[in-house]
Amino acid sequence: MTLSIGTEKDKKSQSNLDELDSRSGENQQPKDPKELPPDWSRAQRINHATAAYLEELAGLDPTALPAKLTSNSELLARTTRACIREWHGENGKERPTYVPGGAPAALTAWQVAMLAARWHRIRRIAHAGLGDTTLDELSYYQQTGAKRGLYVTDESALRALILNFDQDIPDPKMKEIIGKLYDIAPRVEKTSDRDAIPCRSRVFDFRTKTQREYDPDIDVFTSKLAVDCPLTKPDEPMRLLSDGSKWKFSNWLVDLFEPLPDAEDVANTVWEIISASVRPGVRWNKAAFFFSTLGESGKGTLLEMIQHLFGEGSGAYCSIPLDQWGGPGNDFKLEPLLTAIAVLVDENNVGEHLPFLGNFKSAVTHDRIPINRKGRKVITIRLADSRKWYG
């Protein structure tokens, strides 16, 4: 099916119906080629016009969809025609009689929500599982840019997408549109595949050691690594130091734990921790703490390296010290857990009693924890990955 919506050709073909009548100064509304039942209500007619328009767009590639402002105008024109109950008059002076309530001056909140859901893959992420429908969070799939492949839960970004259909949407109507989207959006859970690792541009399968493109029907991630996994295993990088000696990370890691007799085994454990930190679907039921009584022991360097895997400011990791997991003054400190894959903390206070670790223990053991969000209702989540790494 080929559509020509909002083009010059389309406008010319409809000019005999939409042109301004200079004699009366009123816009002549075109007749609907398919007469609707006269007893249909205004709401039924709006629903019919919207469903018919979206049906014409079904199957089109997103790149072939009309401009959003064009689709707004086209659907509004169809809605106006659908709200005409009958025509009266003759000899070119026909006038429409509208159903009670008349034709809407702008698309309804439900219509804008339906358009947004057609142009964008909008989903409700069920943080607490599909059994509880009250704690979902609205998100949309990002097809381009730095967050390509992710479901974005930023409400301000969603508002910006909606404004592309109508730049004059007032705040009360915007709130209603988002509410309608919440009602019509399908529910999904975050990806729980233990072998799926979300990288910068592809998904790495830990089991098969292969990579694939992001699939919005399979991959429900809200954050990802800032780096790509190489297509083939690379040689370990080597640097020449100022004294001419060769430096490799693997050798440096073993040197950190010498002269321990099991230095290589400890270094292998650190490698396992690094690997585990990027696998959000695995339930480790453990938390790792890098500990040393001495300064300059390499703890900070290791932690910074892991942080660079996720990317600064990406939301893929967060920093929540142990004393901020609960208690007075920490109401909103757990909100970053909604998108974070790992918790990476530079320092924890020493010599203090920590009485509010219930949420921390629940996070490690994959139990539900409440997330208090500023200006929004509290939701309960069960972390897809139950390990949190600390430095």
Work out the number of other CB atoms within 10 angstroms of the CB of residue 211: 16
Give the pair of three-digit tokens for residue 240.
């020449």
Determine how β-strand 122-125 pairs with β-strand 187-188. parallel
Cβ contacts of 365 within 8 Å, gap of 6 or more: 285, 386
Reported confidence tier of residue 33, pLDDT bands at 50, 70, 90: very low
* Least confident stretch, 38-47, 52-61, 256-265, 321-330: 52-61
Q: Are 140 and 148 in contact (CB under 8 A)?
A: no
Give the pair of three-digit tokens for residue 263.
């230095």
pTM above 0.85, yes or no: no
Every domain of the chain and the residues it spans: 8-105, 118-188, 229-234+278-390
**Whether residue 12 has pLDDT greater than 90:** no
Q: How far apart are CA 353 and CA 389, in angstroms?
A: 20
% the chain with pLDDT above 70: 89
Work out the number of other CB atoms within 10 angstroms of the CB of residue 169: 19
Question: What digits encode the pLDDT tens for the residues 344-365?
Answer: 998 888 888 899 999 999 999 8
Reported confidence tier of residue 384, pLDDT bands at 50, 70, 90: low
Q: How far apart are CA 212 and CA 136, in angstroms?
A: 28
Of 142, 137, 133, 141, the residue nearest 124 (C-alpha) = 137
Question: What digits encode the pLDDT tens for the residues 196-240?
Answer: 999 999 999 999 999 999 999 999 999 999 999 988 888 999 999
Of 6, 79, 91, the residue nearest 49 (C-alpha) = 79
Cβ contacts of 350 within 8 Å, gap of 6 or more: none
Residue 277: its H or E element: helix 263-277
User: What letter represents residue 257's amino acid?
Assistant: F
| DSSP per residue, 176-244 | HHHHHHHHHSPEE-----TTEEE-SSSEEETTTTEEE---TTT---S---SSPPPSSPPPPP-EE-TTS
Q: How far apart are CA 229 and CA 197, in angstroms?
A: 9
DSSP state of 28: P
Q: Which phi and psi (to 5°) does residue 97 adopt?
A: -115, 120
Q: In terms of C-beta density within 10 A (0-12 exposed, 13-18 middle, 19 or more buried), how is residue 205 classed?
A: middle
Where is mean pLDDT largest: 29-38, 91-100, 236-245? 236-245
Work out the number of other CB atoms within 10 angstroms of the CB of residue 203: 23
Q: How far apart are CA 366 and CA 282, in angstroms?
A: 10
Establish how many alpha carbons lie within 13 A of residue 102's alpha carbon, considering only the half-sphere containing its beta carbon.
Answer: 3
Q: Which residue has the higher pLDDT, 296 or 219?
A: 219
Name the residue with tokens 């949190």: 388
Give the pair of three-digit tokens for residue 293.
């009584």
Q: Are 342 and 388 in contact (CB under 8 A)?
A: yes
pLDDT value at position 350? 81
